[in-house]
Amino acid sequence: MPSVENARAIIQAMKRAGIGLVASLPDAALAKLVMEIDADNELIHVPLSREEEGVGVCAGGFFAGKRCALLMQNAGFLNACNGLTTTALQFEIPMVLLILYAGTRGDMAFPQLGVVTEPVLDALRIPYYILETLDQAPEMIGGALVQAYNAKRPVAVLMKKAIF
């Protein structure tokens, strides 16, 4: 079961990276994290109903000087691909993609998603890193943000279910 403590550790890592706006759609493994983000008064939380919206929301936040993250499952990442291509990549807009990595090694859910996720990220030239343990979160989320701003594009952190 996802724990509130682990969710708060991820939020702390996001805040240390200066992230101020999070657009999200839940996965069962992300439920605690989404609810903790919603309860946090320091973060602007935008609950979505389709992930591609989140690319636009993060772009709007970026123009106003917010560091933005889009939190979703990898099925949602696939839903967001046109927005990522024609908004985030076309306009060179940085954002951090926090992606719950379903169907990866050891996870029996959505095996096809697990197979295609990294090749699609490669095809979009979106750099990505795999978060295997919670203690890597501050460096990896902060590092992703640095790379996103300096490379002027989205950077993804693929989060394994085990960390929640």
Partner 1 sequence: MFKRLDALKRCLPVIGDAPCIVSVGMTWIEWDRLRPNDGNFALKTLGSGSSVGLGLALSLPHRKILILDGDGACLMNVNGLITVGHKQPKNLIHVVWENKVWECSGGVPAQTGQNLDLVTVAKGAGIKNAQRVGTIEAFEAALKSAFAGDGPHFIVAETAPGDEDSSTAYARLEEVDNKYRFTRYLEKIEGKKLREDAIDIRLSLH
The Cα–Cα gap between 4 and 104 comes to: 23
Alpha-carbon distance 79 to 74, whole Å? 9
The size of the interface with partner 1 (CB under 8 A), counted in residues, is: 43
Pick the piece of the chain touching partner 1 (CB under 8 A) from 15-23, 99-107, 128-136, 155-163.
15-23
Is 162 a residue that touches partner 1 (CB under 8 A)? no
What does the alpha-carbon distance between residue 1 and residue 98 come to, in Å, rounded to a whole number?
Answer: 19
E strands in 25-112: 44-47, 67-73, 95-100
Decide if residue 83 touches partner 1 (CB under 8 A): yes
Binds partner 1 by CB under 8 A, chosen from 42, 49, 106, 119? 49
Distances from the Cα of 122 to the Cα of 12, 116, 118, 128, angstroms: 28, 10, 6, 9
Considering only residues 142 through 161, tell me which ones interact with partner 1, judged by CB under 8 A: 142-143, 145-146, 149-150, 152
Among 10, 22, 33, 61, binds partner 1 (CB under 8 A): 61
Q: Which stretch binds partner 1 (CB under 8 A): 34-42, 52-60, 103-111, 116-124?
A: 52-60
Indicate whether 47 belongs to the interface with partner 1 (CB under 8 A): yes
Choosing from 33, 55, 100, 126, the residue that interacts with partner 1 (CB under 8 A) is 55
With binding defined as CB under 8 A, does residue 9 bind partner 1?
no
| 30/8 Cα distance (integer angstroms) | 12
Contacts 24+ apart (CB under 8 A), 104-111: 104/130, 104/158, 104/160, 106/162, 107/160, 107/161, 110/74, 110/75
Residues forming contacts to partner 1 in the complex (CB under 8 A) are 16-18, 21, 23, 44, 46-50, 52-66, 68, 82-83, 86-87, 90-93, 138, 142-143, 145-146, 149-150, 152
